[in-house]
Structures are given as C-alpha cells and as structure tokens.
Structure 1
Amino acid sequence: MPEPYRSKELPVSLLTDPAMIEACQARDFGRIFQLVKARAGIYPSTIARRCDLTPSRVGEVMAGRRQLLHMDVIERISDGLRIPGHMLGLARRSWETPQNLTAVPRESPEEPTPTDAQVASGLPGADVDSILALAAERDLSPSTLDALHSSIADYWRRDDEHGGETLRPAVVGQLRYVVGLLREQRPTPMRNGLHSIAAELARLTGWTYFDARQYNQARAYFTEALGLAKAVEDRQLMANVLACMSLQATYQDKPGDALALVTAAQDQARGAEGTTPRVQAMLAMREAFAHAVLGNRGATHRAISEAHSHFGRISADDPDPAWVAYFDEPKLIVDTGIAHGRLGEAALAEPLIADALRREPRSNHRGRAFHALWLARTQLHRGKLDEACHTAMDALAPAAAVSSRRVAGHLREFYEQLEPFRRETAAVAFEARLREALPRQVSGSPRP
C-alpha cells in the first residue's frame, strides 16, 4: 500500500475503541474530532483540509457550538478521515475496497444472449458514425436553434418529473453535438445562438449532477457553462450559472462561497443590458439563501424584501430569458419560506411553504417532495409532530417517483430528526410508510 494513502488512515486501535464507535453512531463530530486529535495526532487544521471544511468550523464543532448534519458533509468526513462508512451509517465507501482485490475472469466467458447480439449488430460502429457525420448536412437555420431550445425546455420538464439520472446521457450527447457545430465557421448571430444553447446544456448537465450530489462533476459542467456564456458576453446567463453554483455551495456547507458566488452573479446581471426584474428577483432570493445559511438575519430579511420588490415590477412585456421562467409567484413564496426556515424562523416559514405547496403542479415530483419535506421540518420545529409526519408521508410518493439524491438527503435528515420521537404513534406510522415506499432510506438506521 502506498505510503501517502497509508498516512491518511486512522489507527485500528482508535477505530475499534468503544468511545470512537459510540461517537460515530451518534454522529458526535465534536467528540470524533477530539479523539482523532488526541489519538491520531491529526490537528484541527489538517482535519479541516482533509474534510473540505474551514478551520473555524472545525473549531466550533469541537467546542460544541455547531453541529454537522448535511449528508454530503458527513460523507466528506468519512472519506477525509478514512472512517469506514458503516460506522457513520453510510454505505461502503469506494476506498474501503482492498487494494489487492482483483477480478478473476471466468474460464469460459458467457456468450451474449441472442437479443444482445442482435441489438449490437444493429447499431453502427464508431467509425461509421464519424463517416456519417462528415456526410451529413451541416447547414443550420434559425429553426434549428428553435428546435434545440425546445429540446432544452423538454429536458427541464422531464428533469422536474423524473430527475436527471437517466436524462443526463442524452443532454451530454446534445451538448457535445452543439460544441462540435461551434468548431465550424458560422455567421455571428448563429454562432452566438449556439454558444448560448451549449451553455444552457452544460448548465443543465451540471444541475443533474448537483441533484445527484456529485458535486465535483457538477462544478466542472457549471464552469464549462460559464465559459461558454462568457465567450458571447451573455452576462445574464453567466449570472444564472453563478447562482446555481451558489446554491450548490449552500448544500456543501460552504456559506462563504455561496455568498461570494451570488454576489458575482448580481454583478454580472447589473452589467448586462436589459436584465429583467424576474432575473433580479431570483438572484436576490439566492442571496437570501446564502445569508440565511450564514445566520445573517438582517441581511437575509433585506435580500428577501429586495426579491419581492423586484418581483413586484415584473411586466408581461419583459424579455425574460427562457431559463428564468420557472421563477413564478409560487416559487418566490416557497423560497421565501425556505429562507426563513434556514434561519430557524419556523412560524414565518410554515404558512408560506404550505401555500406554495398547494399551488405546486402534480407533475413536478421533485418540487412537491422537496417542498413537502421543508414544510414537515418547519412543523416539527414548531412541535407539531402529528402534522409533520403526515406532511412527510405526502412527500413519499413524489420522492419515490423521482431520481434525486438531493431529495433523498432531505428525507433522510427528516427521518433522523424524528429520533427523539421514535416511539410516538405518528413517528411509528411514518417510519412504517417510509420502509414500505423507500426502504433504502432507513436501511442501517438504528431501531428504537
């Protein structure tokens, strides 16, 4: 085993210590970090670097002033400190596979089934694909750009309904196709249109990775989208991409990055000609999210007020970009509720999220699941256990219908927040429904 890898491992004596096992089961990261420092000689600054946290946050956790609850942060700690996944209630981590484990080929490889062989023989090879591409007509027209825009709108609709996991290969394929078209000489209007389409396809790809909580891949595609938009000085689209990256940073528990990114987004929008009130309202709400995660109450309220002020100036004649059409009144309301919820202002959050949820289209499975879980969390925060569990039950069907690890993470967090009430009738009923609808969400979880 290479020495750099070995140096990352914690001593076996620590991993088998009852105190460490108990701290991991409770996800008491303050105690875990203290044990790692005392028993493995790994100091807070190194813990922060390995786990992609700030040293001040590690210090707050060790002092008992902060808890770490987000699943992606827990996964980073498991990977950064080499704590086996099962100790923290996670799936087996990729690095836990023994280095000397190799696959042994069968002595007699199985022949593909006739169906597989027929399918394979019916598809052209890569060389033929290249030849056909060279022979194809490459003349583009405005109607071609309209068709590509329509396909993007359809991708977003299907992403809302089903999630992006199965959608992603088609989106990436179309992105690479459009990027290929950009390598040829085009009139400036056509070239600018292709750049904008490629940027939006890259943003959509990044979004599908973000929704799957594959943050490194998401960041790579968001960065590609930013570069494509910058090539044609589409500042509004640049602002939108930066806003997506800001939202991702809030999920990664990096509020400082979130605020810096949304501030840059607003700078781009202010420098763009014809930035619409709807775009400005969306960006102000993303700023509110960043401030809320930082705990900046006054700044959060100011950003919320600014978002509503911009939204009030929206006109039917505004030349809104297609990518901001989703930010309608129900979205403004639910985001306002979520911002209050992030601040711990559950009494303000609950009626707003409930109102928006009533207006949510039935076809938007991810939105319904996501917002129902936020409503359940605010109700639980207000001591309304029965209502919270009932609302969370309403989230199970849409959560099961959509492939979204982000929604699954919120569901898991709500389930864990029920721990003090696990024997209550409402919590027992919810867990039974959860195990029936989404058994993987509770596999490996401690039972009462």
Structure 2
Amino acid sequence: MPDAERPQELPARLLTDPEMIDACRVRDFSRVFRLVKTRAGIYPSMIARRCDLTPSRVGEVIAGRRQLLHMDVVERISDGLRIPGHMLGLARRPWETPQALIATEREAPQLPEPEQQTAPSLPGPDVDSILALTSRTSLNPGTLEAFRSSIEDYWRRDDQHGGEALRPAIVGQLRYVVGLLNENRQPSIRNHLYGIAAELARLTGWTYFDARQYNQARAYFTEALKLAKEIDDRQFMANVLACMSLQATYQDKPVDSLALVTGAQDQARSSQVTTPRVLSMLSMREAFAHATLGDREATHRAIGEAHRHFEEIDASDPDPSWVTYFDEPKLIVDTGIAHGRLGEAATAEPLIADALRREDHTKQRGRAFHTFWLARTQLDQGKLDQACHTATQALAPASAVASERVTGHLREFYDQLAPHRKEPVALAFEARLRELLPPVSGSLHP
C-alpha cells in the first residue's frame, strides 16, 4: 500500500489514555469513535472509509443506537484506526510490527572459494584498460595523504549515516588503488599503496558487515589481510582479525570469535610498533568473545587487561589512525556491554549511561547501539518505564542511519519487550517506533 493510502497511527497519548483503554476493553465503539474524533481529528466520514463501514452506520454507533459485535468488523476497526489488537481482545495485528523488524539475515549470492577467484576488489579487463589511462601518473606524498584523508572521511560518514550508500565509492577507490599497484613503483610508494588498499578493503568489508551480508564481508576482510601481509603490517592484520572476531559474535559463533581475536593478539604482539591502545581494544574484543561464551571469569580478566593497557597510553604513542576511535568513553561503554552480555545488568547500566553522556553526539550509529544496550540492561532489571523511555530516545539516531546492525539491536529490544506489550508505556514506545520506522512495501532484510 502506498504511504499516502496507509492509515495513520493514532496519537500515543490517546492509545495510553485510561478512558480509551477501557472503551476498547469493553468494545464500546460509541466511546471509541467519539474519542478518535475529538482526540485524533478523525471524523465519522473518515472512520467509515478507513473501517469499510457506511457513514450512516458509524453515525448510529456514535449515537448509541447500534452496536458492533461481529469479529470481522472489530478487526476492520482495529486495522483501519490502527488500534493495537490486544486492546480490543484480538490477536496481534500484522501491521503492529514495523516491516523493518520482520526480517531475516540477508546475504548476497555466495562468492566462489578464494582459491577459485581473483581478488573481489578487481574489475573486469575492460574497466582495467579504461582505468589504465588515468592511473599512469606520478604519485607523491600529497597524493597518498589525499587517499588517507578520503578514508577517514568515509569512516566518519559511515558512522553518521551508514555505509550502504558509500560502498560504490569505496569499492571504486579500492579498484583504482589496486590498479596503481600493477605499475612499477618505488618501494616506499608501493608500501603505502598496499596499506591504503588494505584499509579500503577492510572498510568495504565493514560496510557489508554492517549490512549483515556476512559472506561478502568475510571475503573483503580476507582480501584486506592479504594486502596487509604483503607489507608485513601485523598491527593492521590484528585490526582486521578483530573485525572478523566481532562479526563472529554477531553470527553467534563465539568459538570462532575467540580464535580470531586470539590470532589478532598474536599478530599485534609480534609487531614492533604495537601501542597500548591497540592492545586495549583487542582485549575488549576478547572480553566480548568470552562473554558470548558465558565465561564470566575469563570475561572479567579480559576487561581488566583492557583497562590495564588503556592506563599505559601515552600521548606520544604512535597510534595508527584506525584505532584512535577507541577513547575512554568507548572503553567504558564496551566494558558495560561486556557485562551486559554476561547478564550483569546492574553493573552494565551505569557504565553505559556514563559513556553515553560523554561520547560524540554526531556518531549516530554508535549512539543508537549504546542507547539500545542501555535500554536492554534497564529492562533486564525490571525498569520498564525507564527502559521504554531510553529506547524511545534511541529511535531518532536509529532512523537517521542506514544500518542493519542497528535494526538488529532494535529488534532484540523489541522482542525482549514482548511480555509487557499491553502496558501503556510500551504502547507509547511502539507508536513512536511505527512513526519513525513505518511499514514499507516489500521487506527490509538485514
């Protein structure tokens, strides 16, 4: 149904009004229609059209001369006026769950096995020949810095808006840089190009991971590892393995997650330039893996290691640009999330709340993640009103960023809320949710 034809939601304040709740409970449609008219501005002729009733019949109901008892009519009223099914004693209506939350894991077609394919970043020969016309150019430090600046800008915009729309530009730049590697270059220039290509491949993998297209993500992460290995950049290899470890936690593969982050730590420790910030980030990823496995002791130990390494950070450390995001608010919020994964909600809640007060408000995706995590820890402690209020605050940043991972976190909270759906505060949250994430034609598949 086009958006213009889709019935509008009733105001949350009406759906949570005790008079409306009572009128729906006893199916007193005379009162229901009057309240809808006075509180929502939906007049009898509009009620008739939306509920597939005649205007005269609606008028008789409002005047108290007629009752509506047939179940199919009650269902039409529920659907036409967007009154949640349970308020009228009905089963949950299909429209009550935003389409964005009715989804299954999305995957692009399976890629060939790595040994049977060229690097996923490489274009066909016709594009190669076209790009060759522009790639035969002298490279200097300024050109390389421009590449790195564009990568930093991609990451910034990815966190603000999601990476789906950015991906074609990122892949195009990756192809271009890989094309430059096919020409003879000075060793120093060539090493920088390999590093740039590795970061572009990791960024491409990240955009697929954020879209929950896990096979594609893994292919690009693997390509990033190969490119970094060409220049023996073990710190960056550790970074890519940490990304793959995080992905494994989302795929509910905690054993794989732990193996990957252990490999990342091995690579980092074998590097001569690894910094305390990198080791702190990796220890926190290890804590996530242990928490997903339910190993409380190992999780607490890894959290302790993360904080110990973080305390050793010095302003003069040669941190790579890709780890600078791991600041103190990030350390704190990740600590809270690790406790939350263990079910230690009372410990997790104040940590996540403190980090939210301190973190960058322009990072929409991160704020949505962390706010939903805060709401989940509050709900775990039975704080229904507080949890729904917190989750409602998360809807604005969630709706502003195109991220299937954000949708996944919203879905987890929404499912956790199921036992409380009839409570007024949950009704108000759902009304706001459907307002910001309305049903759409077709499906959104994470």
Calculate the TM-score normalised by the size of structure 2: 0.70
Q: Which residue of 2 aligns with 1:170?
A: 169
Counterpart of 1:162, as a letter, is H
Shift in Å at residue 362 of structure 1?
1.9
1:266-291 Cα offsets, whole Å, 9 max, x none, are 00001001100000000000000000
Q: Which residue of 1 aligns with 2:201?
A: 202
Q: 1:93/1:305 Cα in 2 relative to 1: closer, same or farther (>3 Å)?
A: closer
Counterpart of 1:278, as a letter, is R
The yes-or-no answer on 1:435 pairing with 2:441 is: no
The yes-or-no answer on 1:253 pairing with 2:261 is: no
Shift in Å at residue 425 of structure 1?
1.2
Structure 2 Cα separation of the partners of residues 94 and 280 of structure 1: 32
Structure 2 Cα separation of the partners of residues 180 and 245 of structure 1: 26
1:261-319 Cα offsets, whole Å, 9 max, x none, are 00000000010011000000000000000000000100000000000000000000000
> Which segments of 5 or more consecutive residues in structure 1 lack a partner in the other structure?
1-85, 96-125
Q: 1:309/1:425 Cα in 2 relative to 1: closer, same or farther (>3 Å)?
A: same
8 A Cα contact 2:369 2:409, kept in partner: yes
Q: Which residue of 2 aligns with 1:397?
A: 396
Shift in Å at residue 412 of structure 1?
1.0
8 A Cα contact 2:128 2:179, kept in partner: no
Structure 2 Cα separation of the partners of residues 236 and 93 of structure 1: 31
Q: How does 1:242-321 map to 2 (within 5 A)?
A: 242-321=241-320
8 A Cα contact 2:105 2:212, kept in partner: no
Q: Which residue of 2 aligns with 1:372?
A: 371
Sequence identity (%): 74
Q: 1:136/1:92 Cα in 2 relative to 1: closer, same or farther (>3 Å)?
A: closer
8 A Cα contact 2:340 2:348, kept in partner: yes
Q: Which residue of 2 aligns with 1:114?
A: none
Q: CA RMSD in A?
A: 2.4
Shift in Å at residue 94 of structure 1?
9.6
Q: Which residue of 2 aligns with 1:31?
A: none
Shift in Å at residue 440 of structure 1?
3.9
Secondary structure at 1:193 match in 2 = helix
Structure 1 Cα separation of the partners of residues 131 and 201 of structure 2: 25
Structure 2 Cα separation of the partners of residues 135 and 178 of structure 1: 11
Shift in Å at residue 90 of structure 1?
3.9
8 A Cα contact 1:340 1:346, kept in partner: yes
Structure 1 Cα separation of the partners of residues 148 and 106 of structure 2: 39
Q: 1:137/1:395 Cα in 2 relative to 1: closer, same or farther (>3 Å)?
A: same
1:111-142 Cα offsets, whole Å, 9 max, x none, are xxxxxxxxxxxxxxx97994574266511011
1:154-178 Cα offsets, whole Å, 9 max, x none, are 0000000000000000000000100
The yes-or-no answer on 1:335 pairing with 2:343 is: no
Q: 1:92/1:187 Cα in 2 relative to 1: closer, same or farther (>3 Å)?
A: closer
8 A Cα contact 2:235 2:271, kept in partner: yes
Q: 1:264/1:132 Cα in 2 relative to 1: closer, same or farther (>3 Å)?
A: closer
1:90-122 Cα offsets, whole Å, 9 max, x none, are 469999xxxxxxxxxxxxxxxxxxxxxxxxxxx
Structure 1 Cα separation of the partners of residues 128 and 423 of structure 2: 61
Q: 1:320/1:417 Cα in 2 relative to 1: closer, same or farther (>3 Å)?
A: same
**Structure whose alpha-carbon radius of gyration is higher:** 2
Secondary structure at 2:185 match in 1 = coil
Q: 1:230/1:416 Cα in 2 relative to 1: closer, same or farther (>3 Å)?
A: same
Shift in Å at residue 363 of structure 1?
1.2
The yes-or-no answer on 1:139 pairing with 2:124 is: no
Q: Which residue of 2 aligns with 1:62?
A: none
Q: 1:243/1:94 Cα in 2 relative to 1: closer, same or farther (>3 Å)?
A: closer
Structure 2 Cα separation of the partners of residues 438 and 163 of structure 1: 16
Shift in Å at residue 187 of structure 1?
1.0
Q: Which residue of 2 aligns with 1:28?
A: none
Q: Which residue of 2 aligns with 1:382?
A: 381
Structure 2 Cα separation of the partners of residues 225 and 130 of structure 1: 24
Q: Which residue of 1 aligns with 2:180?
A: 181
Q: 1:146/1:391 Cα in 2 relative to 1: closer, same or farther (>3 Å)?
A: same
Structure 2 Cα separation of the partners of residues 367 and 178 of structure 1: 29
1:234-285 Cα offsets, whole Å, 9 max, x none, are 0000000000000000000000000000000000001001100000000000
Structure 1 Cα separation of the partners of residues 311 and 133 of structure 2: 51
Structure 2 Cα separation of the partners of residues 256 and 290 of structure 1: 8
Shift in Å at residue 89 of structure 1?
5.2
8 A Cα contact 1:360 1:367, kept in partner: no
Q: Which has the higher contact order (CA 8 A, sep 6+)?
A: 2
Shift in Å at residue 360 of structure 1?
2.2
> Which segments of 5 or more consecutive residues in structure 2 lack a partner in the other structure?
1-98, 109-124
Secondary structure at 1:341 match in 2 = helix
Q: 1:179/1:371 Cα in 2 relative to 1: closer, same or farther (>3 Å)?
A: same
Q: Which residue of 2 aligns with 1:345?
A: 344
Q: 1:401/1:89 Cα in 2 relative to 1: closer, same or farther (>3 Å)?
A: closer
Q: 1:351/1:229 Cα in 2 relative to 1: closer, same or farther (>3 Å)?
A: same
8 A Cα contact 2:368 2:397, kept in partner: yes
Structure 2 Cα separation of the partners of residues 344 and 92 of structure 1: 25
Q: 1:170/1:141 Cα in 2 relative to 1: closer, same or farther (>3 Å)?
A: same
Structure 2 Cα separation of the partners of residues 206 and 154 of structure 1: 16
8 A Cα contact 1:229 1:235, kept in partner: yes
8 A Cα contact 2:204 2:220, kept in partner: yes
Structure 2 Cα separation of the partners of residues 420 and 412 of structure 1: 14
Counterpart of 1:229, as a letter, is A
8 A Cα contact 1:205 1:221, kept in partner: yes
Q: 1:207/1:383 Cα in 2 relative to 1: closer, same or farther (>3 Å)?
A: same
Secondary structure at 1:439 match in 2 = coil
Counterpart of 1:306, as a letter, is E
Shift in Å at residue 434 of structure 1?
0.3
Calculate the TM-score normalised by the size of structure 1: 0.70
Shift in Å at residue 439 of structure 1?
2.1
8 A Cα contact 2:287 2:303, kept in partner: yes
Structure 1 Cα separation of the partners of residues 224 and 171 of structure 2: 12
